[in-house]
Amino acid sequence: MSLSEFWDFLVLGVVLGSLYAVIAIGYTLVYGVLQLLNFAHSEVFMFGGYGGLIALTAWSPVTSPSGFQSVAYVAVGMCAGAALGGIAAYGLEKVAYRPLRRRHAPRLVFLITAIGASFFLYNLAGKLFGRNAAPMPTMYENKKLFSVFGADINITQLLILISAVVMMIGLDYVVNRTKLGSGIRAVAQDPEVASLMGVDIDKVVSRTFVIGGLLGGAAGFLFGTNQQVFYTMGFLPGITAFAAAVLGGIGNVRGAMVGGMLLGIVENLTVGFWGDGWRYVGAFAVLVLVLMFRPTGILGERVGRTA
């Protein structure tokens, strides 16, 4: 593989990795406050894709949009995706997780509920919207913009990168600088003490889910724009993002960003060297190797302690 090819795959890896990072944040936030593996987050992501698709189909974009129209389409699609993702996550927490928390059910039970909810949600989406894949309506002409070391960057890729970076910075701000963020960190560190200090745990948990859902939904829209929307689209990216969250240190927001990036890059380099069939082998081999030497991930666990 020549150097220019290496750059090609690296750039693609960064783009995909930034998507993974945004999804992984959803897993890691929920893990931070609940120590719970939200298996159904992949369906939140999928609903984000459908949210964008529904909004844009309803609006029915013109065939060759002007620059302003393009921006408007993207903004509306992303907002709709984020909104539906947020709603799905909120509903999920209310219906599937809160009753269990009331009973202090052990985490395995949460896991099975999450699996059940995931099955239910993606099949429901398949039933409602049809089981064939659908492309996102054309929002802009996807042109090549510029090259970095010989690797081309087109509009979609730039869009994904910029949105992901903005979302990550925004989230970092929310977690570290706002009242809600200190609530999240407090609950993550010690729920009992947090509640004694007057933190409304139910509210914090619910909002954490919604934040994760907003990010996941927006990522779903971006994924749909890059590729297509279908009812099982959450599964593979969901698994990878989950791995990314664990790789970075689950419960650690910055860890999820690092982990997502790293897995995106490793995957694309694997594809570059050996072909797409081996994609996940590279990713999971890196995961196992890292965990063997750092059993709690690259940056270590917990929102409260490190972020």
Least distance from another protein to the Cβ atom of residue 168, Å: 19
The nearer residue to another protein, 101 or 172, going by C-beta atoms, is 101
The nearer residue to another protein, 172 or 206, going by C-beta atoms, is 206
Least distance from another protein to the Cβ atom of residue 173, Å: 25
The nearer residue to another protein, 167 or 263, going by C-beta atoms, is 263
Least distance from another protein to the Cβ atom of residue 67, Å: 19
Here the tokens at position 150 are 């010989």
Least distance from another protein to the Cβ atom of residue 307, Å: 18
The nearer residue to another protein, 74 or 205, going by C-beta atoms, is 205
Here the tokens at position 192 are 């009992």
Question: Which three-class secondary structure state does DSSP give residue 234?
Answer: coil
The nearer residue to another protein, 31 or 221, going by C-beta atoms, is 31
Rg (CA), the chain: 19
* Cβ contacts of 191 within 8 Å, gap of 6 or more: 33, 201
Least distance from another protein to the Cβ atom of residue 181, Å: 18
Question: Which three-class secondary structure state does DSSP give residue 133?
Answer: coil
Entry field: residues in the chain: 307
Strand-pair category, 144-148 with 151-154: antiparallel
The nearer residue to another protein, 129 or 210, going by C-beta atoms, is 129
CA–CA distance, 220 with 253 (Å, rounded to integer): 19
Task: Using CA atoms of 261, 264, 267, 273 in order, give the dihedral in degrees to the nearest 10.
Answer: -80
Least distance from another protein to the Cβ atom of residue 189, Å: 10
CA–CA distance, 200 with 247 (Å, rounded to integer): 30
